[in-house]
Chains A and B, each alone.
Chain A
Amino acid sequence: MSTFYDHFERHGKGLANRVTHYCPGCGHGLAHRDLAAAIDELGVQDRTVLISPVGCSVFAYYYFDVGNTQAAHGRAPAVALGHKLANPDAVVISYQGDGDLASIGLAETISIAQLGIPITVIFINNGIYGMTGGQMAPTSLVGQKTSTSPEGRDSAMGQPLRVAELIAQLDGPVYVERVALYDARQRTKARKAIAKALRLQVEGRGYAFVEVLSECPTHLKVTPDAAEAWIRTQMEPVFPLGVKKDSMVEPWFRRPPPSFDAETVLALSGAEPTQDRAEGPARRHRLGARGRSLKLAGAGGDGAQTAALLLARAAIAEGFDATHIPSYGPESRGGTSYADVNIAEEEVLNPSAAEPDVLVAFNAPSLARFASTVPEGGLILYDSTVITEPGELPERRRVLGVPFTGIAVGLKQPMVKNLVALGALQAASAILPAPRILGALREVLKHKRAALPVNEAAFAAGQAAVAQARA
């Protein structure tokens, strides 16, 4: 049995060097021997990573001469998954007891079983908490006396949880079996099941789960042979043995090694090498020391955020610093949608637009809410199709109503009202040169070329509307 350490150095010196910490007659030792035998037979000792749980088998790493990671209570399958994805060639085993797997870690147990990624889970079900001293487990039997069910478990404390059946009805696992250790025949089956569960992982076929009905003589407060008998006569009727699921699955789990190819990484990041850029060097369009602060306010679907992003992109392409912060109402559709944009020659100091130089309002509530935040000399642009009666607006601000929606509807594409607004904004404020904004538009639509003409037309129409208003 080379998969056990020759000496259990982590357990201690002297006798501890050779004997386990388990109580006499404890089923854990048998399951350990079966697991070690399976690792040996498959010749995967070097590749094996064993996840020790919290519970009596917390010290499994004392014994198994494999890579060992000890996990938090209930989290062994999550830790196992992390290991398996980090190194798909590793043979990863999550070894857990009933408190760990079926109580505190139930969410991890089920969700990771359902992922179906090949790991092997060995579930030691002895119907009681061992390490903490004999409390009720999710798998304790009805009527079973434990230190937290002193009068016996009743149904109000929950019925025993049949985990193998639970796991078997998931689509993720390929193999689920419940075995026992109480006699020679069962032990042979247990050994075979554990070996098979491991083989399915080694062959890349899938997730396998073996539930082992195991003796805890100490907390059953009986001799080991009485514990064997208890499992046979009391536990087995509630937890029927046998194969619960066994799908024929061809090996499928293969992962390419991670790529560190610079070009791929740059392409995925959306970065383009400088020499590929079509546009010329940035022209410095003076903004003054304070830069500009803009707020675009409307409802979800007005396109305020897209317009804001186009402004930020255009400003950055121009050689300025720019920021955009979106804020939404709680509704994911149709709620308020505000965008703060700040543009500065060197560095945007304040990314919010509490006092915007420019307000673009797509609806009446937005206009009412933010018009008064625009300082004197500022610009207020609003959609005059939607806001027919702008009401009283603060004085000494330039106020311009442009039919964003009307123009967009005229172009048979109501969605482009934000581009109408941008065109109007550009013409009325000249914060950024028009070609720069159109360049940003082309960049954003580079994979949706068909949408470009109507957006460009909307932009031009917005500009024209302002020019007309001036004339």
Chain B
Amino acid sequence: MPATARERPFLEPAYCKGCLRCVEVCPKDCITPGTAVYPGTGLIPVELRLDACNGCGLCIAACPEPFGLRTQSETAHVEHAAQEYLLQDPTELFGSKIVEGSPIRERPAKAIPLQECAPLVLKGTYASAIGAVLAGCRHVFGYPITPSTEGAELMAKMLPKLGGSFVQAVSEVAAVNMMYGAGAAGVPSMTFTSSPGFSLMLEGISYMIGAEVPGVFVNVMRGGPGLGNIGPEQADIKLACRGLGHGNTHALVLAPSTPQEMLDLTMEAFALSFRYRNPVVILGDGYLGQMTGAVRLPSRMFRPGLPSWCVWGDRAHRTNLICSIMLAEPDLEAHNLRLNAKYAAICAEEQRADAYRCEDARVLVIACNTPSRMAKGAVEAAREHGIAAGLLRPITLWPFPIDALKELLPHVEHIIVVEASPGQLEDEMRLALSHAGIQPPPITSVRRLGGMLPQQAEILAGIRESQEVRV
């Protein structure tokens, strides 16, 4: 720095770590190893005798400490700010620093009306991608995996035309961390993945939850464990509801059952993700991802805002920090308690379920995603047989819609959980019942695995069996 090159060094002994990197470099032997321990640091600062100093600056360039060796004028600004105030232009005193307490204003999202359109005929992954675009998402990061890839493919086609970015990352691990970066910058981002890829993203999701970074994950579940197959399964419910990486984590888990809901819930997921500064997971199944159906577009789309907390890369947001490390145990405990309060608020506010013919149901079928459609067919058929069956379809798997279930229980004599998993949905329900202190009626199940879904006939048989049991 030429302006200061001829200036002599200054050292506040408290900020010297006594590393001696400055000593060897001084051509005039002005700096010598110290002899006295500095109280407070326990280190031995160097000693400066500057009579012979030519202001070459080499010592300053050798000092690793930001407040170690510096030029005298540089230090004067800061160390003696009070005294120098009258001599200095006060606005220049601390360079271009932010004035303390200047509030960062949040720029709210804006709704943009949409013309009414004829219904589209879309597969679930496409519907979800279009939902994301309507929600204002312009940043998508992903890694190809069947049966979710078409979502990413459509994004790769649409986003460049919308000034957005689709990045095919080197892995799911990289993809989730790109989302972490984009989310930290305050923009809506998402990914499409399927079970094995979702496993790989869990570390990143834990970081996002810890650092309170929003982002939407669409997991089109396939058959597992391991490489499994590409048939539809629902065996990531446990992962999404109970296992989002390490530590105290939770995220809203939404379970669509039609291409229409793939769009609607994806849109909603972005709003929820920013409302709670937390990732949101959309769990579909392989059928739903590939299933084509009628999809009506909403009456409005959104231009996202810019939250006050983000690290955007401008003056207003310069003081912000996105991080999940908290070294002091009390700080981290307090942070976790805050997260817990957020989780509790989500549980209280965001439970969603769809009840079909439940008003007088004595047999209650619980099912989500595609199996809930077969279950609906089975409920219809059971009604034709004179059985008072109903379907409660959780739309949020976490939080489980226990309030809706609670309301129905007085007239329900039997619960049948239908799922393409070894009981993960049932576990969520049982846990919710247990927390609510409710003794449920008998629970049976209709389960399929390995990429096969429970069919209407099996569910109907389950419903009829439940009647025999009672007789």
Contact = CB atoms under 8 A, between A and B. Distances in A.
A2 to B, nearest CB: 3
B297 interface: yes
Interface residues of B, number: 112
B321 A70 contact: yes
A22 B68 CA distance: 13
B318 interface: yes
A72 B21 contact: no
A112 B67 CA distance: 34
B24 interface: yes
A45 B314 CA distance: 8
Nearest to B263: A269
B165 A75 contact: no
Interface string A40-65: 00000111110110000010010101
Interface string B201-215: 001100100010000
A170 to B, nearest CB: 13
Interface in B84-100: 94-97
Contact of A111 (B117, B174, B311): B174
Given A25-B19, A71-B177, A225-B21, A265 B312 contact: no
Contact of A67 (B78, B95, B117, B320): B320
B291 A323 contact: yes
Contacts of A70: 211, 321-325
Contacts of B96: 2, 45-46
Contacts of B297: 266, 269, 271
B58 A184 contact: yes
Nearest to A314: B121
Contact of A78 (B41, B58, B117, B174): B174
Given A266-B114, A316-B121, A79 B178 contact: yes
Given A24-B43, A322-B293, A348-B373, A67 B118 contact: no
A24 B162 contact: no
Contacts of B170: 107-108, 110-112
Interface stretch (A87-95, A380-388, A448-456): A87-95
Contacts of B294: 316, 321-322
Interface in B289-314: 290-294, 297, 301-303, 311-314
Contacts of B134: 265, 269
A268 interface: yes
- Report the contact-size class of chain A (Cβ under 8 Å from the partner): 35 or more
B386 to A, nearest CB: 16
A224 interface: yes
Contact of B161 (A51, A268, A316): A268
B182 A86 contact: yes
A441 to B, nearest CB: 13
B342 interface: no
B50 interface: no
B120 A351 contact: no
Given A87-B185, A262-B112, A264-B162, A25 B323 contact: no
A4 B116 CA distance: 54
A72 B205 CA distance: 11
Interface in B59-94: 61-68, 70, 74, 78, 94
A351 B181 contact: no
Interface string B360-392: 000000000010011011001000000000000
A368 interface: no
Contact of B62 (A184, A256, A258, A269): A184
Contacts of A18: 12, 14-15, 67
Given A188-B61, A312-B121, A19 B380 contact: no
Contacts of B370: 351
Given A45-B95, A67-B313, A72-B180, 11 more contacts: A2-B94, A33-B66, A46-B313, A65-B318, A81-B181, A92-B313, A255-B163, A270-B120, A271-B120, A316-B119, A352-B287
22 contacts: A1-B70, A28-B64, A29-B65, A63-B66, A65-B318, A68-B311, A69-B311, A86-B189, A87-B312, A87-B314, A107-B173, A111-B169, A188-B61, A260-B162, A260-B302, A266-B117, A268-B157, A269-B158, A316-B121, A322-B293, A323-B291, A352-B374
